[in-house]
Each structure stands twice: as structure tokens, then as C-alpha cells.
Structure 1
Amino acid sequence: MTPFHSIGDLSRSYQLRLGQQGLKARLDRLTQEMMTGVKADIPKALAGDLSGISHIESRLKLLTTFQQNTSEAQNRLAGMQAALGQIQAVVDDLGPSVLTERNILEEQNLRARADSIKRDFQSMFGTLNTATAGQYLFGGNRTDSPALGSFETMLAELNTAVAGATTAATIASRIDAWFDAPQGTGGFSDTVYQGDDDGSTRFSISPEHRIDSNLSANSAELRDTLKGMAVMAYASEAGSAIDDATLRDLFSEAGGRLAKATLGLTTARADLGRQQAAVTQAQARNSAETTTLSIARTNMIGADPAEAVTALEETEAKIQSLYAITVRLSRLSLTDYLS
């Protein structure tokens, strides 16, 4: 009897279909590896030991979060630094000039100068209400609304606080007391300041480092500036209600406060500068660690591009061969084959 070596049509069709599915699966896997640069079957690539890659992946995710934090911190600190720079440019000029002008300007010019400084003060309010990336910078923990309320409200509150005072020293002293009044007693922190100074604005910038920003429009460094400007704003508002001698004395009171404010602003900006440097260093460290871990990750589960290309070409050639065999055996069209 002649031996029977062939297989039936159903069996042949089944074998071809298995071959087709296997090659398609291999093609999909290799294509994925080419696109992602990562082995499709990570457990197989690591012989089932996933502890190392899990640690690396976890660390990389953590570093991504830290880099986002450093970016946010850097933007915030840069915005605050720029705002304080604008304010200090005004204050550094005003401190010495108002002390000099009290002695050399005529009364009419002094009153005009007070009006000009009041306008500078109003602009300063706008600077302290600066926002970066949708977050207000000088409201402490509260970043969703401006740090300071209405400038007109502040002027009205100052007039109330100063009512009845007749000497420049008393006027300035009452202005100081209003700005320094504890929360809940109706002073600056209750009626004009809209921020929240409980705690601090904290940024975790690396696994080992964080920065805490306590500077707000209600901080002593800035209140000193506001006091000096407020004395001049009151002089402007009072107009002829104060005589020439009192007006000149108010210039002296304001000049002394603004000179002190310069030191506070310098200290505040130096603190911000140190924080900016810490953030920059953290960014560099985080970036270096990310690069190192990414290289280690690639060494563990990375797909070799050259090997992937070669395997992809071989698989495509096998698919073409299988298709040719299938066409000869069953006369299928390419459309039918791919459907």
C-alpha cells in the first residue's frame, strides 16, 4: 500500500491560519518595540524578576513630580523677585528724595509731589497683586485671589485711623499701628490684606529638599514699604487740611520709613535669591538622576533598534511567503487575506 503523507484541506487551512496569526502577532510586537523602544514582554526580558525595574519606574515617576514642583516654584519665585525689583526701584529712589525735597521744594510743589507718590503707591498695589500661571504671588497660602483689596478702601481706613491726629509724628504713628494691628482688630490684615498667612507655601523640589516661602504682602518687609507710601498718600488725601509745616514733617516721616523699607526689601530679595538657587540646583540633580535611571531602564528592558529592524524585516518576508503559499493553495485575494 502506498504511504499517505499529505494532510487534509481543513488541517492545511488550520496550519496556515495559525502561521498567519503567529506572524501577525510577532509583527505587532516588533512594531510596538520599534515605536516605544521598550521590550513588549518585560517579564520575559527580565526573567520574571521585576523588583529592579519597579524601583526604577517608581523613582522616575517621583522625579517627574519633583521636576514639575521645581518648575512651579521657579516660576513663582521669579515672579516675586521681579515684582519686588519693581517696588524696590521706586522705594530706593523715594527714600532719599523725599528727605531732600522737604527742604528745597515750595509748598505747592510738595503737594504735587505727594500726589505723584500716591499714584506710585496705587501702582504698587497692582504689583503686589501680580499673578503667575493663574496664581497670585503675595497672598501667602491663598493663591486664587489678589493679595490686596481696594486701594480706595485702604485710603478710607487710613483716614479713619488718623482722625483727630494733628502732628506728623502722631499721624505716622497711627498709620504704623493700623498696618501692624493684629488680625481681628480691624487693621490692614483685616480690611485690605486678602491672603492667608497660616503656614507657608511649600514646594518639595527633590527627594531630600523642600523650600518654604513665607513672604506675603502682609510680611513685615513689605508692610514697612507700605507704611512709608501710606504716609505720603495721606498727605496727598489731606490736602489743605494740613499746613505746610506738617506736610514737610510728613515727608520726613515717610522718608525714614522708606529708607528702612529698602533694607527689608533687600533682605527679602536675597532670601528669594537663595531659594531660586536651591531650586536650580535641585533641577540639575533631578535631571541627572533621571538621565541615569533612564539609561539603566533602557539597559534592562530596552529594545535594540538594530535587532528590532532585522527581526521586523524577517517577519515581513515570512508574511509575504506565507501569503504567496496561501494564494497558491486557496486563491485568496490580498483583501480577503487581510480582512
Structure 2
Amino acid sequence: MDRFSISSGLMTASLGQHISELRTQIGKTSTEATTGRYEDLTLHLSGRIGKAMLGQKALADISTDREVLNLRASRLSLIQTSLGTVQESSSGIAANMLSAIGGEHETDVGIAARDAKAALSASLSSLNARYGDRFLFAGDATSTLPFSDQSALLADIELIADSATDSADFATQLDDYFTSPTGGWLQNIYQGSTTASDPESVTADNDAIKSLIRDLAVLAISGPDGPLASLDGYKTLVQETSLSLSSSETQITNLRADLGVYEERNAIEQKTLDTEETVLTASFNDLTARDQYEAATELQSLQTTLEASYLITARLSQLSLLNYLG
């Protein structure tokens, strides 16, 4: 092998290494031209890398916090929607029943009782609302469906009415049913937890919700053919329950207002995060941003150099072959 062949081989090897380095540099510069950020921050920032990493972590923390806030906002919105449905379902029933029972219009009383039954069904269905795998009104028992259908509740209330000696006795038994830990409400009807670790959540055992369900259930069996109609004090009982329903609706309004406070606070926290993110992003960009036009120009130059290197390598290979054949 002559000296030309040795020299040509060394040059080819050197060019090969140079081409490999160029391709690496092109890959890096191409990424920087696309992202507008230096790929090797350690090399670019040197002693300032710690500051940049802290800024990057702060931005990541903001992203995580925003996801949590968005989750809370979505849950609160769905809770508000469900309670809104409960309110709308019972709207007007108290006034209609008071008018009907006061005028002793049996047909109208029956219609109001039917409306109460429909509202009870709609309310229980709304209170079974879920977000993902989480039942929103089940307290800490988030995987448990709070209610089955209304039939079990109405059957229990009718049984109390059948066994009551008068309307006063019915009211006493009803109180025990809904307030006692061993009463039918907690034993047979509400299957969720009475406690909620999340302060922004609402259980269906909330006093406002439980009062409204109780009132609707009583009115639902208050028709002229229902078991309450035969009790002494029937008319007074229906009137008092109707007034209680109106009060329960007001309590639901107050409950929704309390939730609105949480929603407003959540919105303020989101705005605060937006402001922090703007400031931190600007600071992080000052440290890490790469001029994309400059990177694109450098990329074009590197690609030109690479093409020239490929051309030279090809020519050297041809010369080496000719020298060998000669």
C-alpha cells in the first residue's frame, strides 16, 4: 500500500468522524430551532443551571396545582348542577299543596302528591351524581352509590303512617327515622358516609338535603287515597310539611351559596397561578430561550457543511479506488 492510500484512508476516517459530529450538531440545532430553547441547558447556563432548574420545578408545580384546581372546579360545578336540579324539581310543590289542602280540593291534592313523588325521584337521581369513579354526595364512601330508587323510602314512610295513631305520633316516628343512627334513613336508604374529609364536598346526609327529601316523601304519600289521609290532624300535617318544604328549599339555596364561596376562592387561586406562571415563564425563558431565527440560520449552515463533507468523502473514495486499480 503506497503513501497516497494511507493518507487517503486517514482523511476519510477523519471526515467520517467530522460528519458524525455534524449530524449530532444538526440534530441539536434542529430541536432548538423548533422549541426555541437550548437543548443542553447545563452547557449553556453553566453556573446558573441551579436557578433554571428551580424555575422549571416551580413551573411544573404550578401545572400540578392547576390540575388539582381544575378537578375541584369540575366537582363543585357538578355538585351545584345537581343541587340546582333538586331545587327545580321541588319548585312550586309547596305552594300548590298548600292551596289544594286549604281548599280541600282532593283532586288537586292528589296532583300535588304525584308531583312530590316525581320530584323525589328526580332528586335522588341527581344526588347519585358522580365525577369519574367518585360519587359526589356519598361523603368519604366515594365508591358507594348513595341511593337506590325511591320505592324503599316511600315504603318505609307508608309503614310509619300505617302504624301511627295520629299525625303527632307519625311526626315523632318520622323524626326518629331520619335522625337516629339506628333509624331507617341511615340503615335502609342512604348508603354513603355521614362524614366527608373534603371540606368542599356535600353529603346527601346534609341537613338541608335530608329535610327536603323527608318533606317530599311525606307529601308524596299525602294524596286523598294515601295512608296519611286517615290520620287525625292530616290537614295540619300536610300544611306543616308543605311549609317545611319551602324552608328546605331556602336551606338548599344557602347551601349552594356556601359552595359558591368555594368556587370563587378556587377561581381566585387559578388567577394567582396564572400570574405566577407568567412571571416564572418569562424568567425561565430569559435563561434558556434560544433565538429561533439564529438557530435556523445555523442549521442551514451546518446542513451545507454536511453536504460538502459527503461530497469530499465520495471523491476521496473514488481516488482511493483509482489508485488501487492503477
Same fold (TM over 0.5): yes
Q: What's 1:312 paired with? A: 299
Question: Which residues of structure 2 form unaligned runs of 5+?
Answer: 320-326
1:1-339 aligned at under 5 Å gives the runs 8-182=7-181, 185-201=182-198, 212-236=199-223, 239=226, 242-243=229-230, 246-331=233-318
Equivalent pair of 1:180/1:187 in contact (CA under 8 Å)? no
Which amino acid in structure 1 is aligned with residue 238 of structure 2?
Answer: F
Which range is displaced more, 189-198 or 161-170? 161-170
Q: 1:33 Cα deviation (Å)?
A: 1.5
Task: State the percentage of identical aligned residues.
Answer: 23
Q: 1:78 Cα deviation (Å)?
A: 1.0
Instruction: Output the CA distance in 2 between the equivalents of 1:330 and 1:5.
Output: 12
- Mark the CA change 1:299 to 1:122 in structure 2 (over 3 Å): closer, same or farther: same
TM-score (norm 2): 0.88
Which amino acid in structure 2 is aligned with residue 129 of structure 1?
Answer: N
Which amino acid in structure 1 is aligned with residue 185 of structure 2?
Answer: F
Q: 1:47 Cα deviation (Å)?
A: 0.8
Q: Spell out, residue by residue over 1:102-137, the C-alpha distance to the aligned partner (whole angstroms, 9 max, x if none).
A: 112422432342133112211211111122344322
Equivalent pair of 1:232/1:251 in contact (CA under 8 Å)? yes
Q: Which secondary structure does the structure 1 equivalent of 2:221 belong to?
A: helix
CA RMSD in angstroms, aligned pairs only: 2.5
Q: 1:187 Cα deviation (Å)?
A: 2.9
Q: 1:90 Cα deviation (Å)?
A: 3.6
Q: 1:5 Cα deviation (Å)?
A: 11
Which amino acid in structure 1 is aligned with residue 163 of structure 2?
Answer: G
Q: 1:314 Cα deviation (Å)?
A: 0.9
Equivalent pair of 2:147/2:189 in contact (CA under 8 Å)? yes
Q: Which secondary structure does the structure 2 equivalent of 1:80 belong to?
A: helix
Which range is displaced more, 148-157 or 278-287? 148-157
Q: What's 2:324 paired with? A: none
Instruction: Output the CA distance in 1 between the equivalents of 2:12 and 2:229.
Output: 107
Equivalent pair of 2:98/2:242 in contact (CA under 8 Å)? yes
TM-score (norm 1): 0.85
Which amino acid in structure 2 is aligned with residue 14 of structure 1?
Answer: A
- Mark the CA change 1:330 to 1:236 in structure 2 (over 3 Å): closer, same or farther: farther
Which range is displaced more, 67-76 or 92-101? 92-101
How many residue pairs are counted as aligned between the two chains? Answer: 317
Equivalent pair of 1:102/1:248 in contact (CA under 8 Å)? yes
Instruction: Output the CA distance in 1 between the equivalents of 2:187 and 2:146.
Output: 12
Instruction: Output the CA distance in 2 between the equivalents of 1:331 and 1:181.
Output: 98
Instruction: Output the CA distance in 1 between the equivalents of 2:308 and 2:224.
Output: 94
Q: Spell out, residue by residue over 1:71-125, the C-alpha distance to the aligned partner (whole angstroms, 9 max, x if none).
A: 1111111111112122223434223332222112422432342133112211211
- Mark the CA change 1:10 to 1:44 in structure 2 (over 3 Å): closer, same or farther: same
Question: Which residues of structure 1 form unaligned runs of 5+?
Answer: 202-211, 333-339
Which amino acid in structure 2 is aligned with residue 10 of structure 1?
Answer: G
Instruction: Output the CA distance in 1 between the equivalents of 2:216 and 2:171.
Output: 11
- Mark the CA change 1:55 to 1:132 in structure 2 (over 3 Å): closer, same or farther: same
Q: 1:161 Cα deviation (Å)?
A: 4.0
Equivalent pair of 1:117/1:229 in contact (CA under 8 Å)? yes
Q: 1:244 Cα deviation (Å)?
A: 8.2
Q: 1:20 Cα deviation (Å)?
A: 0.5
Equivalent pair of 1:140/1:196 in contact (CA under 8 Å)? yes
Instruction: Output the CA distance in 1 between the equivalents of 2:318 and 2:173.
Output: 101
Instruction: Output the CA distance in 1 between the equivalents of 2:15 and 2:301.
Output: 18
Q: Spell out, residue by residue over 1:206-255, the C-alpha distance to the aligned partner (whole angstroms, 9 max, x if none).
A: xxxxxx22421110111111121121123259726633865423321211
Q: 1:170 Cα deviation (Å)?
A: 2.7
- Mark the CA change 1:241 to 1:232 in structure 2 (over 3 Å): closer, same or farther: closer
Equivalent pair of 2:97/2:109 in contact (CA under 8 Å)? no
Which range is displaced more, 228-237 or 63-72? 228-237
